[in-house]
Structure 1
Amino acid sequence: MVISWKQLTFVPTPEALEEFRSSWGWFVPDEMMAFMAATSGDLFFEAADGAVHWLDTGRGELSRVAASRDEFLAAMRADGGNEWLMTPVVEELLGAGAVVGDGQCFGYKVLPILGGDYTADNMVPMSAVAWYGSSGWYHQQLHDLPDGTHVRLSVGE
């Protein structure tokens, strides 16, 4: 299956961006402006100095990946988005019949920071509002814990 850039990215709704800022504002500075959203659930930001940063929503890591947007786009074209857009995983999901509608992206069933894999089997389509909200909340809870800390999650009232 040949995948297009349009299938690898999406335009978040204003509600999704509002939820992102609400749920991730503790981690991503307000000065950073989102300019691209990946169908895999990650976001890309431009800092005041023009540098591009990648938010890996699975691990809760914000990394500087390029000195400028031009440098970023050249790197994306060079590897087809394999790393930052998770092209092979998205391609596998779409090839298997997964559908992401307007305002949706893929989210993890188990966050990679909690041991989940960066694989198609661990991803599911969901609204970007839900993904940004839940991933931000989990990462905020986990942020200050030392590596290797055992975490118990319970779902209930």
Structure 2
Amino acid sequence: MKVKKTKSLEANIPTASMADIAFLLIVFFMISTVFQVDKTSVALPESHGKTRFEVVKESAFVIVTKEGTIKASDGLEDSRLVNVEDIGILAASWMQKRPSQPVVIKADADARYGLVDDVLKHLRDAGVVNLKFLTEQSKAD
């Protein structure tokens, strides 16, 4: 009687779906990533009011540091350094695209008030109607 010699099977891992899994992981991490428009660190002034408003997504930001530098962002792109005179031009272009877009002023507590006042004047002249100041909630409240 003849016995047939059987071939031994090699152990292997099926890799046909590895590309699909890698693609799904990339898509998952791209969707779940949170982008921050501005990472400028400032010491915010304290507010003593009881009312609290949340910052609306895609709000435009104007940042004034205590050194006197000004950064601006339309809410979709990273913030960039600007002159105080250019704030009005930028804000006017923001208001042309979205007239009711909120503009958040993130001013340092030690920033010169005159500079913040100039920024406010340029924003007002550009037609900004939805304006908010970013503050730190007081611990006593």
- Give the alignment's TM-score, normalised by structure 2: 0.29
- Which has the greater radius of gyration? 2
Name the one with the larger helix percent: 1
